[in-house]
Amino acid sequence: MSDSGIFQQFALDGKVAIVTGASRGIGAAVARTFAEAGADVVVASRTESQLELVADEVRALGRRAVAVPCDVNDLDAVADLAERAVAELGRIDVVVNNAGGTMPRPLLDTSPGYLERAFHFNVTTAFALIKASAPQLLEHRGSVVNISSAIGRLRDRGMLAYGTAKAALTHLTRLAAADLAPKVRVNAI
């Protein structure tokens, strides 16, 4: 990264980031951008073949990358993800909870189980990775970025489960920020 100018504010030289949902889309773009900023990156996703491609892109930028096949719905796998980041790259400075989502479904077609699964995938998994990473984040004055959605504040038909889960993720972010301050920044975008 350049040694001068506004971009120096965003330098991640010597930092280690975990990015979930990193095999494509936002997660892959975040992983590449962090590598461009100087970070080593642990990329995690269920889609192993695409995950290796993203890890290769990070390495091509001169950074270390660890590809971890991980279904974040398995909370033991989430704990293992944090442990592997430390074991292979020595620390955790940044966590990006990007994995999440739910298919649209109107209220009358939404079962309690579907709502619980949406909450688990979008909220519980983010909580689990924050908690598993917290000792490292506190030690290194790290940061967490949770990928939320405007639908957590707005209304739209068929978005009950997803919108409710993203609203909860946004509030989890606020509460985690209060609990981990002043050493760890926790934000949602």
What is the set of active-site residues?
162
Residues 45/51, Cβ–Cβ less than 8 Å = yes
Q: How many CB atoms lie within 10 A of CB 140?
A: 17
What b/e readout covers 34-72, taking b as 16+ CB neighbours within 10 angstroms?
bbbbbbbbbbbbbeeebbeebbebbeebebbbbbbbbeb
Dihedral class, residue 25 (left if φ above 0, else alpha if ψ from -120 to 50, else beta): left
Residue 69 has φ and ψ, to the nearest 5°, of: -60, 125
How far, rounded to the nearest angstrom, does the alpha carbon of residue 48 sit from its chain's CA centroid? Answer: 17
End-to-end CA gap in the chain: 24
Question: Which residue is associated with the tokens 């983010």?
Answer: 126
- Extract the runs of DSSP E, i.e. beta strands, from 49-115: 65-69, 94-97
Residues 78/70, Cβ–Cβ less than 8 Å = yes
